Amino acid sequence: MQGAGHRVAITGFGVVAPCGIGKEQYWKGLLGGPAVGTVSVEVSDWDPLPYFANAKDARRADRVEQFAIAAAQEAFAQSGMPSVDPSRFGTIFATGVGGLHTLEEQIAIRLEKGDRRVSPFLVPMMMVNASGAAISMKYNLQGPNETVCTACAASTHAIGYAARMIAWGRCDAVVTGGSEAAATLTSLAGFGNMTALSSSGSSKPFDVSRDGFVMGEGAAVFILERYDLALKRGAKILGEILGAASNADAHHVTAPSPGGVGAIACMQQALDDAQLRASDITQVNAHGTSTPLNDAAEASAMSHVFGAHGVAVTSGKGVTGHALGAAGALEAASVLLSFEHSMIPPTAGTTTIDPAMTIDLVMGAPRQWTPGPTMSSNFGFGGHNGSLIIAPA
């Protein structure tokens, strides 16, 4: 990262997603067919018990926290515990909404049964910082513990910020990523009434017939370390964070700035931070939500930065749905898996790219690829933009 004193390595990651629990099942899911005929795709037959000390602890964690703990367990199992002072081991986590299932359930209980029946665990279960707090307590991480809540850009912002904490020398290791479980009846009604959800029940990023997103959920967690310390302890380095950027459209609460002006600036700032040129990027994992305005703005931005058909582009949301604040984490995990398998997964659900778009979209089948620097970008309601550049080890 530009001007930084330390390189930042990724030494472990874990995934919980509707298309697969665990990173290997997640990868198989990304190569499978799209989710169709639904307004949401969720983790089916979810059992939190294997990730908690007992059933009581599991019950006292909202679904969003359960996903985070499960993904963290897989990440630490791969990485091992970095040999650093606990006070220099941070937790920078993300969510867009937090414990919405608990909040909605407890509101229904209050309306039906009265105030005295509301759970005393409502507040610690619904608060947006619960997931990061739970991870820090489980693993005795005593460094900075902060939660980023910038809508659909939250995980990308969190990972970028976590990398800076290491690059700047404040931390020697950081757990980061994001979790989301917001597919409640009220949430879906709200997104549906604002016409953000797909009326056809299909996510088709950048397709000419795209008509909105399908709600997703899940979590991905990463272990970041100072590169030299990771090498010293013999950790396997899976990738390196080269750069990151965050900015604001300052345009509209839900719509992107016309022409993707804010996204263009954010992507360029990430390139500058990584000290790379646009031609150095070999893959873009796009936000690609399947909404008319956002896909158009993002495609315009990518063409502006990388040139027409200048870089391979993919979006996983045809499989995963749009996991809001966890989207960037799931997509960073997809990038690491594409490094491992030397393959870019296809943009599931998309069959006919919008003719107004001049992007090289990977469609239909995976594309063989020589791993190289990859940009992953996310854009959130409120005008939040985030871009992250990850390179193979």
Question: Do residues 347 and 288 touch, judged by C-beta distance below 8 A?
Answer: yes
CA dist 333 and 320 (Å) reads 12
Average pLDDT over the chain, rounded to whole?
97
- Checking if the pLDDT of 2 tops 70, the result is no
6 is catalytic: no
pTM higher than 0.85: yes
Specify the pLDDT at position 33: 84
Q: H/E element holding 101? A: helix 100-113
Q: What is the mean pLDDT of residues 307-333?
A: 98
| Phi, psi (deg, nearest 5) at residue 160 | -65, -45
| Phi, psi (deg, nearest 5) at residue 325 | -65, -15
> Of 152, 171, 266, 304, which is the active-site residue?
152
Maximum CA extent, the chain = 61
The pLDDT tens digits of the residues spanning 75-84 come to 999 999 999 9
Specify the pLDDT at position 53: 95
- Checking if the pLDDT of 233 tops 70, the result is yes
DSSP letter, residue 229:
H
Specify the pLDDT at position 34: 87
User: CA angle at residue 266 from 301 to 376, to 5 degrees?
Assistant: 80
Q: H/E element holding 296? A: helix 292-306
Q: What is the mean pLDDT of residues 21-33?
A: 96
In the structure encoding, which two tokens stand for residue 291, read together?
Answer: 């909404």
Percent of the residues in the chain that have a pLDDT greater than 70, as a whole number: 99
The pLDDT tens digits of the residues spanning 192-223 come to 999 999 999 999 999 999 999 999 999 999 99
CA dist 328 and 15 (Å) reads 12
The pLDDT tens digits of the residues spanning 73-128 come to 999 999 999 999 999 999 999 999 999 999 999 999 999 999 999 999 999 999 99
The pLDDT tens digits of the residues spanning 165-186 come to 999 999 999 999 999 999 999 9
Band the pLDDT of 306: cuts 50, 70, 90. very high
Provide the angle, in degrees to the nearest 10, between the axes of the packed helices 327-341 and 23-30: 90
- Checking if the pLDDT of 3 tops 80, the result is no
> Of 101, 304, 322, 384, which is the active-site residue?
322
Q: Which residues contact 139 (CB under 8 A, 6 or more apart)?
A: 72, 76, 81, 89, 175
Map out the domains of the chain as residue ranges. 8-392
Beta pairing partners, 323 = none
309 is catalytic: no
19 is catalytic: no
CA dist 20 and 346 (Å) reads 17
| Phi, psi (deg, nearest 5) at residue 35 | -80, 130
| Phi, psi (deg, nearest 5) at residue 73 | -60, -45
- Checking if the pLDDT of 4 tops 70, the result is no
Question: Do residues 325 and 354 touch, judged by C-beta distance below 8 A?
Answer: no
Q: Pick from 133, 388, 150, 102: which is nearest to 273 by CA?
A: 388
Domain 8-392 has CATH 3.40.47.10: yes
> Of 6, 157, 287, 384, which is the active-site residue?
287
